[in-house]
Amino acid sequence: MPDLERDVQDAPAAPAGASSQLQLDAPSAAPVKLGRSIVVTSGKGGVGKTTTTANLGTALADAGRSVVVVDADVGLRNLDVVLGLENRVSKHLLDVIEEKCSLDDALVRDRVRRNLLLMPAAQNREKDDVPEEKMALLVRQLQERFEFVLIDCPAGIEQGFRNAVVGAQEAIVVTTPEVSAVRDADRVIGLLPRNIELKLVVNRVRPAMVKKGTMMSVADVNAILRLDLLGVVPDEREIIIATNRGTPVIDIEGSETGAAFRRIARRMLGEDVPIPSFEDKSNFVTRIMSTLGLGRS
Amino acid sequence: MPGRAFVITSGKGGVGKTTTTANVGCALASLGKQVVLMDADIGLRNLDLVLGLEKRIVFDLVDVAEGRCQPRQALIRDKRLDGLYLLPASQTKNKESIEEDQMREVVRLLVAEFDVVLIDCPAGIEHGFRNAIAGADEAIVVTTPEVSAIRDADRILGMLGQRRARLIVNRVRLEMVKTGDMLAVEDVAEILGREVLGVVPDDEEIIDTTNRGEPIVLDASRRLAKTYIAIARRLIGEDVPLPSFDDDGFFGRLRRLMIGTRSHA
Amino acid sequence: MQIKGTKSGLLLHLYDRPLAGAVLELRGKLDASPDFYRGSRAVLMLGGESAEAPELAAVIATLEQYGITADGAVCDSDSSAAVARSAGLRLVAASVAAAPRKVDDRTTPSRNGRARRSQAAHDQTRDADEPVTNVYHKGTVRSGQSFEAEGNLVVVGDVNAGAELIAGGDIIVWGALRGVAHAGARGDDAASVYALRLEATQLRISRCIAAAPPADKRRAHDLLPEIATIRDGRIVIVRADQPHR
């Protein structure tokens, strides 16, 4: 009988349920090579799902891929605004599902990138109107035409969430380094089907605050969520400006946030891009504070 | 005389509903009111975290609705402030676990015993939202000066029926308003056509306080504490002028908007 | 007055005063099917205002006549607690009285009887013909998820805040326990909670409940495996390498 041997290496924290490789091809037995269907979800609202979907879609398109971004937020659509396409929306997802128009009638082409299209959400209907199987079918149809189908998930865990998830084979869970957001992300992870591949994006990181100890670090976040980290996106005022103008932040010169999204897109395409640790941006923060005369009073 | 029930809603997630509920609630209690904060975000509860009361949760809203306990047993008394109570949501259930008439009944029981009930509404316009507004007499719509948030707030306003709805404009960055990179509060109010209850400047200190479960209002020396107290005072009917951001024209226009609002259906 | 059935027995809501009326009402309700609750335990929810001792004694005696043993009280004030104690009732926390809050077992009162006998004996042996299932789970238990076991519950993985574990027996977490764990949920005071990292929001053992202490200043690598048990009627946490019986 052999002696018991103790292995003294540090065991890496194994993320529960997620594999370590990002597959390039979607698992498919169909004769047609299907694109990848990825839902961008979070649980908590306002952590950057729509911004992430828009920017990753744009970055993937810039890398030469055919991309469709799907707004699954029936009733509260915003993906069109973030992409600056709200004036071009006429038909939408529900019209296609109800066979009132064809897929092509509803798809809106981006003004700049010809290989980036938007499937808009309906504004005036409610999420209970969309049956899950039909949504899954629509996503499948899109996968037959596009290399990437990115689905922008609404906040919450109700029917809207379920509809957004039903067609997805992969999921990007977006969170900010805040207790409430991490808690909600954890909840959502527990509700995602077990066969979906999960990745984590930590958004709105403020390195100065992490340094001061007034913000969770990415390591703190992932000690709870235990997912494969896809990327870390820093917080910047540029995001607000970009969103309001309908320009993706990756198009803003010198934006760290934009650069982070570009790196994430490259990782999604299989490139091994290391995640940088961000430099202290305290100058920016203190500048704002002094302009406003804020700070501790 | 029964209390008033307000729903704190927004449409868009992440604009500050829960933080607003917690801080306005604390502010009201500090002004001597008996207040219940009710978390209607079943399955994604956060109000307990923001208040730092998570570890004392025993019963929750669903238990009350299903009669497993009396409302008072589910209420958690905040030990830091007299008159402040939390009715937490359930985390292990979902929003289909409760119906609108059950919500109305719970709120009815609460307004009989308390001055103010603040209902923290979930994001979106689905079942959870409908539940949250069911028991409310009035609404406080929280928005940020961003296109997406305003759009969603506008949608929400259309779903509030005849309820009085006032705005709280959150995360205002004055320097960005000045450079034209952010909408001014008056613009937001004009687009949405509602009275402004309060303007809350962006302040990174709020992140830490919500993470630690210590509402910023509890520290009277903080700038945001004063902001929320002013909001609370307006809520109970006091005439507290909105802050003037150094521009008389701005203040004047806002004041006019507050007093003589165009009412939208 | 309401009578509610839970997995741990009956809950009687007795908020109206005077309690004298409650006895009549109680009789009325129980007479509808006198043997339905025979063998059950009951916890009395007394609220804040103190009952008169003779009135409380009358309620307890009435319950006895129907084969129901009142052995606990939930009190919102010290005065009502004092009255309850002198009537021989044990003070329980509200949640524990009602937990696990899943199945209403009013339809199986005879099982209550068997459980009551084994608890009264305070021994660990279960009736030979009553098999209990243990549950074993591998992986992180996420916020909002809930696992239940009739017997013991083992999780190999973390239990995140917002998650809930409920077991009739012991709970063992081979990972960080950050959520809520309720061991001995059927009234087994000898049950324990074991965790590699005991950072629970709240712990419940049998009828005892305890909240997490204020933010612990210990650094991560100082946290050692710990065990939570009941000692002298309250939950205590001891390091796993120290004697805990």
Range of the domain at C28: 2-120
Name the residue among A16, A183, A226 with its Cβ closest to that of C143: A183
Looking at residue A224, its amino acid is I
**A-B Cβ pairs (cutoff 8 Å, strict):** 140
Calpha distance C155→B3 (Å, rounded) = 46
* A 75-134 → B contacts, CB under 8 A: 75-76, 78, 81-82, 123, 126-128
Any chains having at least 3 CB pairs less than 8 A from chain C are A, B
Q: Which of A16, A187, A226 sits opposite C162 (nearest CB)?
A: A187
pLDDT in tens, C177-187: 999 999 999 99
Give the domain-ending residue among C93, C120, C147: C120
| pLDDT-based confidence at residue A157 (cuts at 50, 70, 90) | very high
Q: Are C145 and C163 in contact (CB under 8 A)?
A: yes
What percent of chain B is predicted at pLDDT more than 90?
79
C245: in domain? no
- The confidence score (pLDDT) of residue C7 equals 54
Residue of chain A whose Cα is closest to the Cα of C142 = A190
Number of DSSP helices (H) and strands (E) in chain B, helices first: 12, 8
Q: Is C71 inside any structural domain? A: yes
Judgement on whether residues C46 and C104 belong to the same structural domain of the protein: yes
CA-closest candidate to residue A181, choices B211, B37, C176, C146? B211
The reported pLDDT for the residue numbered B96 is 86
Question: In this model, does residue B112 exceed pLDDT 60?
Answer: yes
Q: What is the pLDDT of residue B105?
A: 95
Listed by start position, the domains of chain B span 4-259
- Residue C222's pLDDT is 63
Least trusted range by pLDDT, from A58-72, B103-117, C205-219: C205-219
CATH at C53: 3.30.70.260
Of C4, C201, C215, the CB nearest to B68: C4
Residues of C in contact with B67 (CB under 8 A): 2, 4
**Interface contact C164-B92, CB threshold 8 A:** yes
Q: Do C116 and C140 have their domain in common?
A: no
- Say if the Cβ atoms of A190 and C158 lie within 8 Å: no
For chain B, list the contacting chains (3+ Cβ pairs, <8 Å). Answer: A, C
Check pLDDT > 70 for residue A198.
yes
pLDDT per position as a tens digit, C65-83 = 888 888 778 776 777 778 8
Q: Are residues C9 and C95 in the same domain?
A: yes
Write b or e for each residue in A272-283: b if 16 or more Cβ atoms lie within 10 A of its Cβ, otherwise e: eeeeeebeebee
Residue A17 touches partner C, C-beta closer than 8 Å:
yes
Which candidate from B15, B44, B94 shows the least CB-CB separation from A46?
A: B15
- DSSP H or E segment with residue A258: helix A256-268
A119-128, A263-272, B72-81, C58-67: lowest mean pLDDT where?
A119-128
CA distance A266 to C152: 47
Is C38 found in the same domain as C102? yes
Confirm or reject contact between B94 and chain A (CB < 8 A): yes
Residues C15 and C93 in one domain: yes
Question: C120, C146, C180 — which closes off a domain?
Answer: C120
- The pLDDT assigned to C114 comes to 33
Whether residue A11 is predicted with pLDDT greater than 50 in this model: the reply is: no
Return all residues near A238 (Cβ < 8 A) that are at least 6 apart: A249, A252, A255, A257, A258
Tell me if A294 and B223 make a contact (CB, 8 A cut-off): yes
Quick one: pLDDT at residue A37?
Answer: 98
Q: With CA atoms as reference, report the closest residue to C68 among C30, C34, C42, C33.
A: C42
Q: Give pLDDT, residue A29.
A: 55
* Residues in chain B within 8 Å Cβ distance of C215: 212
Among the four given CATH numbers 3.40.50.620, 3.40.50.300, 3.40.50.280, 3.40.1190.20, the one describing domain A36-292: 3.40.50.300
ipTM: 0.89
At A21 the pLDDT is 41
CATH code of the region B4-259: 3.40.50.300
- For A224, nearest residue in chain C (alpha carbons): C160
Distance from CA of A275 to the nearest CA of B (A): 24
Average confidence (pLDDT) over C103-108: 32
Residue A268 has a pLDDT of: 97
Those residues of chain C whose CB sits closer than 8 Å to some CB in chain B are: 2, 4, 6, 13, 15, 45, 47, 74, 76, 93-95, 98, 101, 143-146, 161-164, 201-202, 209, 211-212, 215
**In chain C, what is the greatest distance between 2 CA atoms, to the nearest angstrom?**
60
Confidence grade of residue C9 (pLDDT, cut at 50, 70, 90):
low
pLDDT tops 70 at residue B51: yes
**pLDDT at C218 > cutoff 70:** no
> Averaged over C222-240, what is the pLDDT?
90
Q: Which of C145, C161, C178 is closest, CB to CB, to A190? A: C145
Q: Does residue C114 sit in the same domain as residue C214?
A: no
- Asked if residue C129 belongs to a domain, the reply is no
Asked if B59 and C98 come within 8 Å (Cβ–Cβ), the reply is yes
In sequence order, the 6+-apart residues with CB closer than 8 A to the CB of C224 are C239, C240, C241
- C80 and C168 part of one domain: no
pLDDT higher than 50, residue B131: yes
Neighbouring chains of A at 3+ CB pairs under 8 Å are: B, C
Which range, of A47-56, B24-33, C121-130, averages the lowest pLDDT? Answer: C121-130
Please count the other Cβ atoms lying within 10 Å of the Cβ belonging to residue A229.
17
C127 within some domain? no
- For A23-27, A263-267, C140-144, C206-210, which range has the lowest pLDDT when averaged over its residues? A23-27
pLDDT at A293 over 50: no
Domain final position from C120, C151, C181: C120
Smallest Cβ–Cβ distance between C157 and the set A16, A189, A224 belongs to: A16
- CA neighbours within 13 Å on the CB side: how many for A24? 6
What total number of domains does chain C contain?
2
**Residues C59 and C28 occupy one common structural domain:** yes
